[in-house]
Structure 1
Amino acid sequence: MRILFWLGLLVLIILALKKKMQPPRSPVATTSRPDPQNPASAEAMVCCAHCQIYLPASEAVQRGEQVYCSKEHADLA
């Protein structure tokens, strides 16, 4: 029983050392998320005049001075 304990402890130590020795992974670049280090790259958010949900300005439908989340909500106004 003692041998199993020491063997298990040795395996855990070896695994921990292996993980510690690996180089850090580089972060995966995504184009859908703004860069947190550059606030200027963030897209403006607007609020739908009908349902009050916030959405990116590039996805909004604008009718006059009002902004809507979809064509259906714009037609309801």
Structure 2
Amino acid sequence: MRMLFWLGLLVLIILALKKKMQPPKRPVATSTSTDTHPHSASSAETMVCCAHCQIYLPASEAVQRGEQMYCSKEHADLA
């Protein structure tokens, strides 16, 4: 029983060392630009609130009816 404990402990130590020795994974850059951060200030989009259900969504995905913005065509039709 004691031998099984030490064998299990040895396996755990070896696995931990293997994991620590692996190089960190880096994301592949698809752009040649120096600014590759996805949440940079230049790529931020205006968020608008749906007049029906009050959720926020990007302005490019919103449906506009008059002065009001909606999250879907169905909500715009309900107004």
Which category describes the TM-score, using the shorter chain as reference length?
Answer: 0.7 to 0.9
Q: Which consecutive unaligned segments of at least 5 residues does structure 2 have?
A: 30-36
Residue aligning to 2:16: 16
Is the partner of 2:77 in helix, strand or coil? helix
**Identity score, percent:** 85
**4+ residue segments displaced more than 4 Å:** none
After superposition, the Cα gap between the structure-2 partners of 1:43 and 1:28, relative to the gap in structure 1 and judged at 3 Å, is: farther
Alpha-carbon distance in 2 for matches of 1:73, 1:25: 43
Q: Which amino acid letter does the alignment assign opposite residue 73 of structure 1?
A: H
Q: 1:35 aligns with which of 14, 21, 38?
A: 38
TM-score normalised to structure 1 length: 0.76
Q: Which consecutive unaligned segments of at least 5 residues does structure 1 have?
A: none
1:22-61 equivalences under 5 Å are 22-27=22-27, 35-36=38-39, 38-61=40-63
RMSD, matched Cα: 2.0
TM-score normalised to structure 2 length: 0.74
Tell me the number of residue pairs that the alignment of Structure 1 and Structure 2 aligns: 72
